[in-house]
Amino acid sequence: MDVPQIHLPGQAAAAPGPLDMTNMYLAHHGFRRDLGRLITAVCEVSAGDRRRITGLRRHLSWVLLVLHHHHTAEDDTVWPVLRERAPEAAEIMDVMEAEHAAAAEGIARSEQAFDAFAADPAEPARERLAEALRALAATIGAHLAHEETMAIPLMQAHITAAEDARGHDDVRRQYGPRQMFTLVGWLLDGLPAAALDELRGRSPLGMRAVAALARPAYRRRTAHLWR
């Protein structure tokens, strides 16, 4: 039986099926949102605002940590299963893996450029960093769209709900309690009111209570980054 799928800004598709892809789409929204925010902030931050520059660098590290866990789970537990169960989709799996490799290269360039800018926030370093982040955002954005339109339909057809739940559990184990609290706030940040209402309606009481604390706490902690 198909379950309702959430639709978020920037999302390319929401394939029908028995798996609830909410966590996947929330993460995708977070990657799109924050790479865009980082590009804007890097272009406007004052070279003398070392606190904000340091905070932006730390935030990039956070986004890339979440992305790392996201991609590792797919590489380890999703793509191999789909290769086995849907051999006719081998070319799509090749695309997914190649795009993960391209993202890793873009991540390395972005981190190097940010470290150079943090050490010496002059205009040439700012321009190189903005260029690296724009390229990374384009690479990640294209990959997320391909995943939503090509890979998630395969997941819906070939992965069971129990397997999907185990995959989510494996990802959650990568985070400590404080990181999980931050992750909840990060996933919910910047969502449209209708999406927040939809999530509240679907979530159990305990999760609603955590979200009610995590979302405002996260916004307070990161507000100085996006001013």
Q: pLDDT for 141-168, tens place per residue?
A: 999 999 999 999 999 999 999 999 999 9
- Which domains are present in the chain? 22-160 (1.20.120.520), 175-227 (no CATH)
pLDDT of residue 1: 85
pLDDT of residue 148: 98
CB 44 within 8 A of CB 30: no
pLDDT of residue 136: 98
pLDDT of residue 227 exceeding 90, the answer is no
pLDDT digits (tens, 9 = 90+) for 26-67: 999 999 999 999 999 999 999 999 999 999 999 999 999 999
Which residue's structure tokens are 């909840």?
Answer: 184
pLDDT digits (tens, 9 = 90+) for 77-134: 999 999 999 999 999 999 999 999 999 999 999 999 999 999 999 999 999 999 999 9
Task: Provide the token pair at 32.
Answer: 């799109």
Q: How confident is the model at residue 220 (pLDDT cuts 50, 70, 90)?
A: very high
Q: 17 — alpha (psi -120 to 50), left (phi > 0) or beta?
A: left
CB 96 within 8 A of CB 153: no
Q: How confident is the model at residue 224 (pLDDT cuts 50, 70, 90)?
A: very high
- Pairwise CA distance, residues 99 & 41, whole Å: 26
169-185: average pLDDT: 95
pLDDT of residue 68 exceeding 90, the answer is yes
The pTM of the full predicted model, rounded to 2 decimals, is 0.97
H helical segments located in the chain? 22-44, 50-73, 79-85, 90-119, 123-146, 152-158, 161-172, 177-188, 193-202, 205-222
pLDDT averaged over the chain? 97
Task: Provide the token pair at 121.
Answer: 């926030």
